[in-house]
Structure 1
Amino acid sequence: SYSEYCDRILADKSGRELLQLLDLITAPDLHQFFSEPQQFAFLSQRILPELNKKGANSVYIWSAGCATGEEAYSIAIVLQGNKATEGWRKKILATDVSSYTLDKAREGIYPAEELKLLSPSILAHYFEREGEDTYRIKGTLKEIIEFRKLSLLSPPPFRECFDVIFCRNVMIYYDRGIRKGLTSYFHGCLKSGGYLIIGPSETLPEAEVNFQYVRSSIYRKASQ
């Protein structure tokens, strides 16, 4: 019964039962690469050239709630293929609370169905066929991504270090109070003028944090 299962979780001092439950309830449905392509176009055509004009020689992006890695690898494809970032130091931090999804992300093996938005040239350049209907990410993308287990509800371990934060379709699952806290958290983690990209059905709590609205689902930390 449910009550017996709850008792078992509470009685397990090792925490393994609770971790297994978290893995189950946070394991996502299958995602596609370049989901919401207009957001990746904004990264490629607006954010990266903007950083280049400012004389940047590095870019640091956080994929918060990275699930099985499609978002992080999509970001990596943009960074590796953009002329504005040639010769730059490129780093992506991809975090999730689920060990299961992080293991899948590190493995980097995906069904062909998830890659249908990719052009043949991108598919050939960054993927190798693993089986009849699966592909494996090549090392050129993996080498710029760090996958790390992290709960967004824990105290922030970062401060003003990211140029861009992707946190899409995560805050929608939390109440207003937690969303407000996360928004403040992300604000503190972004560099001045950095961008926060959220899910298309999400909005930030208005007038609560110093973010400027750029366009649907894209916000910018005010420059200091």
Structure 2
Amino acid sequence: MIGQIGLYPGGEAKGKEDWKCYLHGYVSSRLMKLADEAVKSGEEGLPLCVAATKVDGFVLSLTPNTHNYNYRSAVLQGFGTIVEDQEEMIWAMQLITNSVVSDRYTNTRVPPDGAEMQSTRILKLKITGASGKVREGVPQDERKDMKREDVLDTVWTGVIPVYEKLGEPQAGPYNRITKVPEHVTRFVTEENKVREKYAFDAAHKPASVKRVKRGEDS
């Protein structure tokens, strides 16, 4: 599923507690049906857990046991409900679309027509708990291996930066626009720079693992 965290206009006064995770799906999907049934049965929503991980580098150390990854990961817990308000639904569609390619929504045929609105559901996750974990930096070996000159002299250590590179946009079979739109070329160029820079920066930082957690009791 495609999703994005956002704060629906009008909820700013409530602060971070009102930020939601919006998930895009088909009307007849099992997840959407379960969320709808949960609310109709009097529950707060469908209990959900949303997880994502992004690998930024392969960390190669002296021994297989201490090899690692540079990565970013996050887990959200909460209760999912179906977005019924049409304005919020369209706002969420725009949020999710632009999270894939910047400024894409307004550069398409919009707004969605009646059939599209009826076949689409937006699931809104009220976040009750969240945790994140990030590993950055160079290899980190055990002291016993760092004292072995024979190992240090024969094993290469370092980080292979990992990042997705967006390729040259390819026209579709019925495309009539001769020039790739500026919002597409700009997105490809800027996004490639950001992804590459983060992966290489992470490869040169001191080794560290950062954890953050948010919940009802924190």
Fold-level similarity (TM above 0.5): no
Structure label with greater radius of gyration: 2
Higher relative contact order (CA 8 A, sep 6+): 2
What TM-score, normalized by structure 2, do the two folds share?
A: 0.20
Give the TM-score, by structure 1 length. Answer: 0.20
Which is richer in strand?
2
Structure (1/2) with the larger helix percentage:
1
